[in-house]
């Protein structure tokens, strides 16, 4: 396998983008990534998108987006793995470059979620759960993650304030990110008194419905200096794994086996130890998800990540900054694009281009993206060259 580098990134501001279509959102991000990279063509393209058919009545978006980006007839494939679609699209692009099949590959992600009402959005997202054993019984993702949160709180004596501290921390980071959907700080009191969604999760424990796109360009590391305009960032590890889709089939509600396995594979490929990682982007679709993801990655022992945000350990300037982008909670969560945006945050941090969010001396970053209640997980590790 060839060594692979990210040489370009593109991510316009996320939010409720009423005036832009799905194709507009993707093309804007892709053109920004191509411009940032300095390349004059791409050989192939992967697009992470969970549910364009339900959100905007459009399937077959690989060909559609290649057409509107102006790169047809290059091969273009839509990748779906629920909320991990973007991360898996990046992994497929990485594999294609590493294998030698293509030299310059664009990995993007996009979702247009606000063209439907709240009920339709809830239904579309619910298709990532087990339809017969969860969705048919009325379970939604806030409800499923509420079960996880309640199990964790009972098992490890996590307080409601500790859970809320995750949202406070991520909004503090997101307030420094001009591309975030909600670039503003929130207080512990605001989180604690926001509308109840599914006990114990309140509105400010939940990631928002978001329109957005993101894209990156990958090439062989050996060609990066010649092709790219900026410092290349090497992809040193990639791992993916699956678990049961339904919660009731698992041994533990609070430990994500797919994340643990994906992390193990990524670390084996990277040939590093977790202690060498300087910053982490994890899939905080709900505040409890960040806590469980950190423990499943092995960054904290089980039961120990719950107080990390409240104690300042995962803040900028802390022992291990987590979700410096603002995470899904503040930055937003256009589900197909989230995994790509995590990669972009790592690239900008490792390039030393993150501005007020910059982690001092960052050399190695890890991104964890997952679908559903971690039925699918993908982990990538990047290193500054």
Residues 317-352: b if buried by 16+ CB within 10 A, e if exposed: eeebbbbbbbbbbbbbbbbbbbbbbbbbbbbbbbbe
Active-site pick, 171, 283, 333, 380: 333
180's tokens = 């975030």
Residue 83 annotated in active site? yes
- How many Cα atoms within 13 Å fall on the side-chain side of residue 58? 17
How far apart are alpha carbons 113 and 111 in whole angstroms?
Answer: 6
**All residues at 6 or more sequence positions from 87 whose CB lies less than 8 Å from its CB, including other chains:** 48, 81, 338, 339, 340, 342, 343, 367, 369, 378, 380
Give the long-range contacts of residues 301-306, CB within 8 A, separation 24 or more: 302/156, 302/254, 302/255, 303/155, 303/156, 306/152, 306/156, 306/158, 306/162, 306/163
How far apart are alpha carbons 109 and 212 in whole angstroms?
Answer: 8
**All residues at 6 or more sequence positions from 229 whose CB lies less than 8 Å from its CB, including other chains:** 7, 36, 37, 38
Neighbour tally for 108: CB within 10 Å: 32
Active-site pick, 83, 206, 219, 292: 83
* Beta-bridge partner residues of 252: none
- Catalytic annotation, residues: 83, 333
């Amino acid at each position: 396998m060839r060594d692979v580098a990210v040489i370009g990134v593109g991510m316009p501001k996320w939010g409720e983008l009423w005036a832009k279509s799905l194709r507009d959102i993707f093309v804007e991000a892709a053109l920004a990534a191509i411009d940032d990279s300095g390349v004059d063509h791409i050989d192939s393209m992967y697009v992470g998108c969970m549910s364009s058919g339900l959100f905007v009545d459009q399937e077959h978006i690989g060909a559609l987006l290649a057409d509107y980006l102006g790169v047809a007839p290059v091969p273009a494939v839509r990748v779906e793995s629920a909320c991990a679609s973007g991360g898996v699209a990046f992994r497929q692009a990485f594999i294609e470059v590493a294998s030698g099949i293509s030299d310059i590959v664009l990995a993007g992600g996009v979702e247009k979620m606000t063209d439907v009402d709240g009920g339709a959005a809830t239904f579309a997202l619910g298709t990532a759960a087990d339809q017969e054993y969860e969705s048919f019984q009325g379970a939604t993702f806030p409800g499923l993650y509420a079960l996880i949160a309640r199990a964790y709180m009972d098992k490890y004596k996590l307080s409601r304030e500790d859970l809320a501290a995750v949202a406070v921390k991520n909004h503090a980071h997101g307030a420094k990110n001009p591309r975030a959907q909600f670039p503003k700080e929130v207080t512990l009191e605001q989180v604690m008194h926001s509308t109840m969604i599914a006990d114990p999760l309140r509105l400010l424990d939940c990631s928002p419905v978001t329109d957005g796109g993101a894209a990156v360009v990958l090439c062989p590391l050996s060609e990066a200096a010649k092709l790219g305009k900026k410092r290349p960032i090497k992809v040193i590890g990639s791992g993916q794994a699956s678990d049961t889709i339904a919660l009731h089939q698992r041994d533990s509600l609070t430990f994500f086996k797919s994340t643990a396995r994906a992390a193990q594979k990524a670390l084996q490929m990277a040939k590093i130890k977790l202690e060498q990682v300087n910053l982490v982007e994890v899939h905080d679709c709900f505040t409890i998800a960040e806590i469980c993801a950190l423990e499943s990655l092995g960054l904290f022992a089980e039961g120990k990540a719950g107080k990390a945000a409240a104690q300042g350990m995962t803040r900028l300037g802390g022992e291990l900054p987590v979700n410096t982008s603002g995470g899904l909670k503040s930055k937003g969560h256009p589900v197909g694009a989230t995994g790509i945006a995590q990669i972009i945050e790592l690239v900008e941090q490792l390039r030393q281009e993150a501005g007020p969010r910059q982690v001092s001396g960052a050399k190695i970053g890890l991104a964890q993206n997952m679908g559903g209640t971690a039925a699918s997980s993908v982990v990538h590790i990047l290193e500054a060259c």
